[in-house]
Amino acid sequence: MSQPVTILWFKRDLRSADHPALASVQGRVIPLYIAEPEVWSAPDAAARHWRFVAESLTELRADLATRGTPLVVRQGEAVAVLEALRQAHPLHRLVSHQETGLMPTWQRDRRVADWARSHGIQWDEPIDSAVFRRLGNRDLWSGRRDAFVRATRAEPPARLSGPIVEPGDIPDARDLGLPFDPCPGRQAGGRQAGLSLLGGFLAERGRSYRADMSSPVAGEVACSRISPHLAWGTLSVREVHQATAALLAELRAEGGQGEWARSMSSFLSRLAWRDHFTQKLEDFPALDSRPMHPAFADLRASAAGQAELTERLERWSTGQTGLPFVDACMRYARATGWLNFRMRAMVQCVASYHLWLDWRDTGPVLARLWTDYAPGIHWSQVQMQSGVTGINQLRIYNPVKQGQDQDPTGIFTRKWVPELRDVPDAALQQPWEIGGVRRYPAPLVDVALAARAARERMAAARRHPGFREDALQVYERLGSRKAPRERVRGIRKTPADARQGEFGF
């Protein structure tokens, strides 16, 4: 009689190191990755995501092969793929990490659970990050999170064995129907690339992280740049936390309380905020489609005609708003797949407030741009920067001032908006003041007037009867038993939200 087989299902955890699901495997195993059409045809998916994943799968396959069993890759609906393997092999167990994703992955997991139950297959889902299902009381989260990141890392088995299974080809983006998506500056996938970035950050680049992370120029180097590796799981949050904490302890033991120690402390905090925002999606799974506060459900529905809104969305998406710093950031993101956090917040803010576009339309555009797209972080931030949570203060960035502050010499703006290369510094962020520039569009809006109108609209929504009571319910949905205090007709920010957690790393 054939020995029973376990399927080890990889999702956003494309590594063997510190992989609790892999560490739990005993006996014969089929390591499996499923390229799911339902996931990759969603409006938040892009070819740049898949190419990063494909590179990571290639490296993971080689790693697992050295342990005895190469990665099997299949393209298709998850239950159909699993059933085909069940019919060919005596499956008795499925193991995969808990996944916190949008509704399509949640619904898929329900179907997989039904399939496993109907065939008497045990499905185990250990946690891979400090995000907890059915938490109940969010006030317990911080302690549980600290315990998780400090725990001993999961060691992979030195050897794996399993039945002979055709490994299958790793699909190309075209095989998944993903549109052409040029991104010449995209970061490379694979664990080795992630380890190299982390090592360079901890050895030297992170020294000025705290001071430089807000600048799109300095931040390109001073930020860790490991966010895509955390998003797709070639690095674990726990190993990054422990490596950073070890460096910080070393710096403090040497009497270091200077810039480097402060930078590492700040980076550790941002790793925690990353889990904090992902926990929000676990607690509120419709984060991409429904505002956390119901008063904002239809706020932007009739602000302008559809043709005007369509033009605004297209010009914002392609970096043609006529607002130089916004356009530079959007063009940079399209070419590289990355942008530092402050600039991500700014481009979302401009879309939601100045252009008064619906965050449900702009969110997928940015999701497709970020190589490090992680749904929990992305949609939490999209809602926060669009003012629809009801529990955060409004932050309406002035894109002109941001350009002057973060790009004072214009090096970033001129590189990505070369139409403005001959404009003097004083007029670079507002070329309309010198009569405009040939080949560069006039601004879509008057920045000051648009911001004022947005504030008035948001204030009117917050004055609606029952606003505070609904905001309290938002807190309840997030699992907190602590009653928040009022703050200017709204709700006082939670400590983690107050810091506007980094999601560009």
**Model confidence pLDDT, tens digit, residues 94-123:** 999 999 999 999 999 999 999 999 999 999
DSSP 440-494: SPPPSS-HHHHHHHHHHHHHHHHTSTTHHHHHHHHHHHTT--SPPPEETTEEPPP
- Return the ∠ at Cα 181 (arms to 176 and 187), rounded to 5°: 100
What's the confidence (pLDDT) of residue 141? 85
**212 shares its domain with 321:** no
CA distance 299 to 175: 39
Q: Is residue 463 part of a domain?
A: yes
Residue 153: Cβ-neighbour burial (10 angstroms; 0-12, 13-18, 19+) = middle
Q: What is the largest CA-CA distance in the chain?
A: 83
> Domain span at residue 260?
191-282
**268 shares its domain with 350:** no
CA distance 197 to 326: 27
What's the confidence (pLDDT) of residue 75? 98
**362 shares its domain with 319:** yes
What's the confidence (pLDDT) of residue 497? 36
Q: Which stretch of DSSP H or E encloses residue 345?
A: helix 341-349
Of 35, 79, 39, the closest CA to residue 56 belongs to 35
**311 shares its domain with 453:** yes
431 pLDDT above the threshold of 70: yes
Q: Is residue 451 part of a domain?
A: yes
Tokens encoding 2: 């054939």
Last residue of a domain, one of 282, 302, 329: 282
Residue 132 annotated as binding site: no
What's the confidence (pLDDT) of residue 504? 45
**228 shares its domain with 320:** no
In 392-435, alpha helices (H): 399-406, 411-416, 425-428
**353 shares its domain with 492:** yes
**410 shares its domain with 344:** yes
Mean pLDDT of the chain: 91
User: Quick check: 325 and 399 in contact, CB under 8 A?
Assistant: yes
**248 shares its domain with 322:** no
CA distance 370 to 496: 23
- C-alpha distances (whole Å) from 56 to each of 130, 195, 241 are 23, 13, 21
**307 shares its domain with 358:** yes
pTM, whole model, 2 decimals? 0.93
481 pLDDT above the threshold of 70: no
Q: Please state, for a pLDDT cut of 90, what percent of the chain lies above it.
A: 78
Last residue of a domain, one of 73, 102, 128: 128
* pLDDT tens digits along 124-151: 999 999 888 887 777 788 899 999 999 9
Residue 353 annotated as binding site: no
CA distance 206 to 279: 27
Contacts of 266 (CB under 8 A, 6+ apart): 209, 210
Poorest-pLDDT segment among 75-84, 124-133, 178-187:
124-133
* pLDDT tens digits along 203-218: 999 999 999 999 999 9
Who has greater pLDDT, 228 or 464? 228
**356 shares its domain with 243:** no
Q: Is residue 184 part of a domain?
A: no
Q: Mean per-residue pLDDT for 343-350?
A: 97
Q: Which stretch of DSSP H or E encloses residue 287?
A: none
What's the confidence (pLDDT) of residue 490? 32
Of 296, 314, 324, the closest CA to residue 414 belongs to 324
What's the confidence (pLDDT) of residue 462? 85
**260 shares its domain with 349:** no
- C-alpha distances (whole Å) from 83 to each of 91, 170, 257 are 10, 20, 57
- At residue 184, the 3 state secondary structure works out as coil
User: Quick check: 389 and 484 in contact, CB under 8 A?
Assistant: no
Q: Mean per-residue pLDDT for 312-320?
A: 97
What's the confidence (pLDDT) of residue 113? 98
* pLDDT tens digits along 389-416: 887 788 899 999 999 999 999 999 999 9
- At residue 217, the 3 state secondary structure works out as coil
CA distance 434 to 427: 7
Who has greater pLDDT, 480 or 417? 417
CA distance 319 to 343: 13
Q: How many domains does the chain have?
A: 3
Return the half-sphere exposure (C-beta side, CA atoms, 13 A cut-off) of residue 418: 1
Q: Is residue 244 part of a domain?
A: yes
Q: How confident is the model at residue 491 (pLDDT cuts 50, 70, 90)?
A: very low
User: Quick check: 354 and 450 in contact, CB under 8 A?
Assistant: yes
| DSSP state at residue 181 | -
User: Quick check: 320 and 312 in contact, CB under 8 A?
Assistant: no
Q: Is residue 503 part of a domain?
A: no
**265 shares its domain with 354:** no
User: Quick check: 346 and 399 in contact, CB under 8 A?
Assistant: yes
Last residue of a domain, one of 107, 128, 149: 128
Q: Is residue 228 part of a domain?
A: yes
Helix, strand, coil distribution of the chain in percent, nearest 5: 55, 5, 40
CATH number of the domain to which 455 belongs: 1.10.579.10
Q: Mean per-residue pLDDT for 434-456?
A: 95
* pLDDT tens digits along 365-393: 999 999 999 999 999 999 999 999 887 78
CATH number of the domain to which 122 belongs: 3.40.50.620
* pLDDT tens digits along 223-235: 999 999 999 999 9
CATH number of the domain to which 215 belongs: 1.25.40.80
Q: Is residue 181 part of a domain?
A: no
